[in-house]
Amino acid sequence: MKIRRLICLALMLSIASHSQEKNIETESVTLDNLITFIVEHYKLQTDLTETKNITFLIETYSDEFNLEDKVILKQAFKLFSKRVTEDDLISIVTYSNFAGIALNQVDATDIKSLLYVIEHLKSSIKTIEENGIELAYEFAKENFIDDSENSVVMIRIPNRSSEVAKTESSDTKKSTKTKSNAVVLTAISLLPELIAVIKN
């Protein structure tokens, strides 16, 4: 009986270990705090540090980032590339306005690829997907590396979508105002002719 119980227990433990979810850490940070986050979470590398396999999940609110956001992202990734090694890997996935894999796994020190993706985010994505968050975790699981620190880092860009909406609304108002002004100017320019017609 004891042997049977031990065998059953061993089988259960084996099944549990195989069915257990892959350990993928999740971090979330706003763009404004990204540089501080990198300083605190990615210390200068030592030989004893385990390798990293990071999927950055970046929020999108338009077809491209505004200049300020690009500057922050570029500075953050430049700093990041100096705090990792060639053994570490990085990927970039997007979510919100458009979702997709913008950068497949590359060396985390490959700053040229990182900066290119930030500058040409949407055109770097081959296939637009529906759910970027789900895609990021599926991607992280498919590219999971044993004995490595696997993580998804979500970069949120709050209030930008409302700013875009305000800008678009403002542009619409300007356009309407321009049309109204054009009508008024046209009416004023035709006024002398109308008066002449009435007199005749």
pLDDT > 60? residue 19: no
Q: Which contiguous run of DSSP H or E holds residue 28?
A: strand 25-30
Q: How confident is the model at residue 138 (pLDDT cuts 50, 70, 90)?
A: very high
How far apart (Å, rounded) are the C-alpha atoms in residues 62 and 56?
18
Contact 54, 88 (CB under 8 A): yes
pLDDT in tens, 85-103: 999 999 999 999 999 999 9
pLDDT average, residue stretch 56-74: 95
**pLDDT on residue 22:** 74
CB burial class (10 A; 0-12, 13-18, 19+) of residue 79?
middle
Determine the Cα angle at 174 with ends 170 and 175, to 5°.
115
For the entire predicted model, the pTM comes to 0.71
Nearest CA to 73 out of 102, 50, 107, 105 is that of 102
Q: How confident is the model at residue 46 (pLDDT cuts 50, 70, 90)?
A: low
Read off φ and ψ for residue 160, nearest 5 degrees: -75, -40
pLDDT > 60? residue 12: no
First to last CA, the chain: 120
Of 68-72, 149-153, 171-175, minimum mean pLDDT range:
171-175
